[in-house]
Structure 1
Amino acid sequence: MGRLVPAVTRAMDILELFLGTDDSLSAPEITRRLGLPRTTVHELVTTLTARNYLGSVPGQPGRYRLGVRTYQLGSAFGERLDLAAEGREVARGVAETCDETVHVAILEDTDVIYIAKVDSTHAVRMVSAAGRRLPAHCTAVGKMLLACLPDAVLEARLGGDRPLAAMTDRSITSPPALRRHLAGIRERGVAVEERESNPDVSCVAAPVRDSAGQVVAAMSVSVPMIRWSDTRQRELTDLAVKGAQDLSARLGYRGGGPA
């Protein structure tokens, strides 16, 4: 492995200061935060500005903000992101940690489509499969995604109070009951499914956000009832949340965004 180039590292440190809450910074502020010599900061800022990685703030001499080149790089990176591929990579790490089955799914109308699945080493019969579509209200990932919809969109998709399809005798079939259930998911930030799509399996799920803060997918951990308990649920909830956060970070999410 080659050595790190100090000048490049320092330039990256300057750019990464803008990953925080500051829209602009002055050279003295950069110097103070990084503990670098003033002349070094001046040279690096001058170079980054000349290459359009930083830009001067109009009307505020001596202050700098991210330049257009960083936007171009970010856009190019975003265009090349593959949610399914990134999801599989993160799901694989979560599955290796807990040795349970991990899913990533997206919402289409009132169904979920599984775009990634990493199986447990244990033999478990699952109704899910990569590419398969299931009723969203019967699954943890689906309920998580439905809970994140704006009220008007959710109401349009539910289509009134007509009974919903059931996959097991524990599936929620009443739209009013589902609305109440989804309200609780919004408050907790995680969804739980107990034998609602498979009589032998329960799941926990957390939301995945993109760079704009929009929920674009959900990640779940599924466990057979023989290994399901309050303690195991808490452990897997933490793993699902951490996995969803890791995938969100890969998609460019930095925190904040829509509630």
Structure 2
Amino acid sequence: MAAVPAARNVLRVIRYLAEQARPTHAAAVARELGLPRSTAYQLLGALLDEGFVVHFPEESTYALSTALGQLGTSADRATRLRRLGAPLLTRLLGEVRLPVVAQLGILHGQEIVYLAQESAPRAPSLVSAIGVHLPAHLTATGRVILAHLDHAQVRALYPDRESLVIKAGSGAGAGPGTLRELDELLRDTRRRGWGLENGEITDGYASVSAVVLDHNDYATAAIGVTYRTVAVDQSVLPEIAAAVGAAAGALGARLRGR
């Protein structure tokens, strides 16, 4: 493989800045990456000129701009997730060996949107088909993503009790009716380590889910399985959750390029 040190160093700077919780001094970039200080300034200057880095002059620090995220959007993040995740859903069905439907979803405002779906033999038909939008706080996939957002982000999505009210005709059952109940539900989800929904979308159906984390440990998607409650013994839920968690972890590894 041909050595392209300048290109590699640019990518190293971008990755380093992406890992930082706050804007960073150029000297720190140079020190941590083992670069000459002049090289670090040149690379940061080029990234600044191209709009990929912002400079905070009062602090003499640098941070990534939103341009990289916009590139990801233009490359169709949903399509990338679907292509990476669909084979893992098929593998998940083989590991669970139960009449379940495996799904991959992302958060879109207050809704969960399903990007991919695979069904095992004798699995039920669901309302949550590919492209369908469902209230996030009522679904297992939505709940596990919400549980990994910070409190301010959740409040931005659900600012008041009225934001939890489901529109007429959605077919959704009872869920958290107050912000306190929503907070408690998300705390339970974090404590458990996986998402759970039972009869709140369709009576007699339940779902288990796990979050997909990207390279910044951000909740970018969720994988879940849905089943008829009469067809699955509740004692095996921890085993199902472990298999779903492994699939979600594998998708996260693929997103990180590993």
Equivalent of 1:83 in 81, 84, 91: 81
1:183 maps to 187
Whether the aligned pair in 1 keeps the contact of 2:104 and 2:116 (CA below 8 Å) is yes
Offset of 1:138 from its aligned partner? 1.0
2:133 maps to 133
Equivalent of 1:57 in 16, 21, 34: 34
Superimposed CA distance per residue, residues 166-190 of structure 1 (whole angstroms, 9 cap, x where no aligned partner):
7444433333211111112122221
User: How far, CA to CA, are the matches of 1:80 and 1:177 in structure 2?
Assistant: 35
For residue 119 of structure 1, what is the amino acid of its counterpart?
S
2:161 maps to 161
User: Secondary structure in 2 aligned to 1:88?
Assistant: helix
Q: Quick check: 80-89 or 189-198, which moved more?
A: 80-89
Equivalent of 1:214 in 212, 218, 239: 218
2:64 maps to none
Offset of 1:204 from its aligned partner? 0.7
Q: Quick check: 239-248 or 187-196, which moved more?
A: 187-196
Whether the aligned pair in 1 keeps the contact of 2:161 and 2:177 (CA below 8 Å) is no
User: How far, CA to CA, are the matches of 2:35 and 2:110 in structure 1?
Assistant: 48
CA-based RMSD:
2.5
Offset of 1:159 from its aligned partner? 2.1
Whether the aligned pair in 2 keeps the contact of 1:213 and 1:253 (CA below 8 Å) is no
2:43 maps to none
Equivalent of 2:200 in 193, 196, 203: 196
Which has more radius of gyration?
1
Task: Calculate percent identity across the aligned residue pairs.
Answer: 24
User: Secondary structure in 2 aligned to 1:126?
Assistant: coil
Offset of 1:212 from its aligned partner? 2.2
User: How far, CA to CA, are the matches of 2:142 and 2:222 in structure 1?
Assistant: 8
**Residues paired across the two proteins, number:** 184
- Is 1:95 the counterpart of 2:81? The answer is no
User: How far, CA to CA, are the matches of 1:58 and 1:150 in structure 2?
Assistant: 35
User: How far, CA to CA, are the matches of 1:229 and 1:171 in structure 2?
Assistant: 23
User: Secondary structure in 2 aligned to 1:124?
Assistant: coil
2:249 maps to 245
Offset of 1:207 from its aligned partner? 0.5
For residue 88 of structure 1, what is the amino acid of its counterpart?
A
User: Kindly tell me: are residues 213 and 253 of structure 1, through their superposed partners in 2, closer, same or farther at Cα, counting changes over 3 Å?
Assistant: farther
User: How far, CA to CA, are the matches of 1:80 and 1:89 in structure 2?
Assistant: 18
User: How far, CA to CA, are the matches of 2:160 and 2:174 in structure 1?
Assistant: 21
User: Kindly tell me: are residues 192 and 210 of structure 1, through their superposed partners in 2, closer, same or farther at Cα, counting changes over 3 Å?
Assistant: same
1:9-20 alignment runs, 5 A limit: none
User: Secondary structure in 1 aligned to 2:161?
Assistant: coil
User: Kindly tell me: are residues 236 and 152 of structure 1, through their superposed partners in 2, closer, same or farther at Cα, counting changes over 3 Å?
Assistant: same
Superimposed CA distance per residue, residues 80-108 of structure 1 (whole angstroms, 9 cap, x where no aligned partner):
98111111111111012224211110001
User: Secondary structure in 2 aligned to 1:115?
Assistant: strand
User: Secondary structure in 2 aligned to 1:193?
Assistant: strand
Length-normalised TM-score, structure 1:
0.64
Offset of 1:235 from its aligned partner? 1.6
1:43 maps to none
User: How far, CA to CA, are the matches of 2:255 and 2:152 in structure 1?
Assistant: 27
User: How far, CA to CA, are the matches of 2:247 and 2:103 in structure 1?
Assistant: 11
